[in-house]
Amino acid sequence: MAHDDALRAAWQRLTDEAIDFESIIRSLPVVNQPDPAELRAHLEEFYDFAEPVPVDQLTNQLIAMLRRYLIHVTHPRYYGLFNPSTRPASVIGDALAALYNPQLAVWSHAPVAQELERLTLRCLASLLGYDPDTMAAHFTSGGAEANLVGTLLALSDRCPAAATGGMRALERQPVLYLSGESHHSFVKVARMSGLGTDAVRQVPVGSDLRMDPVALERMIVADLDAGFQPFLVVGTAGTTGAGVIDPLPELADVATRHGLWFHVDAAWGGSAVMSPTLRPLLRGIALADSITWDAHKWLSVPMGGGMVFTRHPEAMAKAFTVLSGYMPPAASSITADPHLVTPQWSRRSTGLKVFAALAELGVEGYARLVDHQTAMGERLRELLVAAGWQLVNDTRLPVVCFTHPRITDGTTTTSAIRDAIYARGTAWISEVVLTGKGKALRACITSYLTNEEDLLALVGELEIAIGERR
């Protein structure tokens, strides 16, 4: 049948694209910046949705468009914002999740998908230093949702009256603490949770960009004196801007002494625990009451794949359990139905792609992947310094923030360098503002495919942009 032939051809085309993807992506420009109005007009003309498009043609069209109109975050010369090259096994896992469409709202609908996620989360929890038998964890859409869950757990545990009466039922305004280098998803969390952004206290950082625990304690005491209710400290393990790790044991100590929930946002940096060499950098992370970790960052799986872990399973149930008359009964006493212990209701098998990547690579394979990217970050620092650039941040994780004497003396700007690189299109880096340090250029090793040649190419692009090479 014609339809079957078209479908077969479409899948064949997709298979070819996936198998050859590594060489295809290398052959494409990293940066593509179509004119928004032109792109929109082109698509509107092409697709009026009046005539059906055969699926094989449609597949070819989609591939052509995706090749042409994206910044290719899976390109080894994309030095960007934690968006990874995806492991082939994880793409297969994700495609199967789309195909079988397992429904994880209740265990009984998707027993094997449920248990594969559980196995995966238990393995990752142990690497964090949590006891897999006493923790609870689930997949989220990303780090922002995981940070929301962490905050809601803290709220329902420390301010239980808010669950029924809302914030107005609380005698004192709850406040939380983070640093200026923390992720700004917490500003949204403050709005979405009803806490309000005034409840967010920004703790100063030192010149190393790490939260100052002494300042934290001083602010908690001052807030207590002023009649507020401090309830949550957020430490970051691998800040988005500079890859810096807050002093987790010291923050845990301050939080514990004052009875605050301690959440660690390790959205990107959490993956350092895969490597025995890097794991000690995250010392103290297991003291956290809850942890955010994104698989769709340094675990190199497709978006969205966040995770949230807690040492307090009962807090998860308290925050999210709602009983209804229409959901199927629990399968057994050893299984928890996700819709009762997470914010989502219908639930995609987000974890299938993470399981697939972990099973295919193994923990040791992941350690090599993480160590390779770390080594590439170290090498990039050496190459930049040798070429006259100056490093601005201090971390062992592969985020490199840097500037140049010609930027500091005002001859050029970080934005001009960035834009010159985008215009040539062969690499992508970003500009970042760091507390007390102003603007810098930022390059992160986000692809496990990035090699020394890619680093030399980036440094070459930077030299052209700064005007030291043609």
Ligand X SMILES: *Cc1c(COP(=O)(O)O)cnc(C)c1O
Q: Helix axis angle, 185-192 relative to 143-158, nearest 10°?
A: 50
- Of positions 86, 240, 290, 349, contacts ligand X by CB under 6 A: 240
Q: Which of residues 402-441 bind ligand X (CB under 6 A)?
A: none
Query: Residue 237 or 336: which CB sits closer to ligand X?
Result: 237
Q: Which of residues 42-101 bind ligand X (CB under 6 A)?
A: 82
The window from 93-101, 118-126, 265-273, 457-465 that contacts ligand X (CB under 6 A) reads 265-273
Residue least distant from ligand X (Cβ): 143
For residues 263 and 196, give the distance between their C-alpha atoms in angstroms, rounded to a whole number: 19
Which residue is listed with tokens 């972990």?
358
For the bound state, the minimum distance from the C-beta of residue 264 to ligand X, rounded and expressed in Å, comes to: 10
Q: Pattern of binders to ligand X over 110-149, x per CB under 6 A?
A: --------------------------------xxx--x--
Give the burial class of 54: count Cβ atoms within 10 A of its Cβ; 0-12 exposed, 13-18 middle, 19 or more buried: middle
For residues 160 and 180, give the distance between their C-alpha atoms in angstroms, rounded to a whole number: 28
Q: Which 3 state secondary structure label does DSSP give 254?
A: helix
- Of positions 56, 294, 454, 461, contacts ligand X by CB under 6 A: 294
Indicate whether 236 belongs to the interface with ligand X (CB under 6 A): yes
For residues 76 and 86, give the distance between their C-alpha atoms in angstroms, rounded to a whole number: 11
For residues 50 and 380, give the distance between their C-alpha atoms in angstroms, rounded to a whole number: 52
The window from 69-77, 130-138, 260-268, 372-380 that contacts ligand X (CB under 6 A) reads 260-268
Indicate whether 267 belongs to the interface with ligand X (CB under 6 A): yes
For the bound state, the minimum distance from the C-beta of residue 236 to ligand X, rounded and expressed in Å, comes to: 5
Structure tokens at 27: 């052959």
For the bound state, the minimum distance from the C-beta of residue 197 to ligand X, rounded and expressed in Å, comes to: 17
Name which of 238, 176, 245, 262 is nearest 210 in CA terms: 245
For the bound state, the minimum distance from the C-beta of residue 424 to ligand X, rounded and expressed in Å, comes to: 27
DSSP state of 69: S
Evaluate whether 240 touches 275 at the Cβ level (below 8 Å).
no
Indicate whether 265 belongs to the interface with ligand X (CB under 6 A): yes
For residues 74 and 300, give the distance between their C-alpha atoms in angstroms, rounded to a whole number: 10
Q: Which of residues 188-207 bind ligand X (CB under 6 A)?
A: none
For the bound state, the minimum distance from the C-beta of residue 470 to ligand X, rounded and expressed in Å, comes to: 36
Q: Pattern of binders to ligand X over 301-340, x per CB under 6 A?
A: -----x----------------------------------
Number of residues this chain uses to bind ligand X (CB under 6 A): 14
Beta-strand ranges (E) seen in 134-196 are 136-140, 174-179
CA 196, 200, 206: angle at the middle one, nearest 5? 165
For the bound state, the minimum distance from the C-beta of residue 365 to ligand X, rounded and expressed in Å, comes to: 23
Beta-strand ranges (E) seen in 77-228 are 136-140, 174-179, 200-203
Query: Residue 306 or 466: which CB sits closer to ligand X?
Result: 306
Indicate whether 268 belongs to the interface with ligand X (CB under 6 A): yes
Name which of 261, 368, 378, 393 is nearest 318 in CA terms: 261
- Of positions 185, 342, 403, 414, contacts ligand X by CB under 6 A: 185
List of residues contacting ligand X (CB under 6 A): 82, 142-144, 147, 183, 185, 236, 240, 265, 267-268, 294, 306
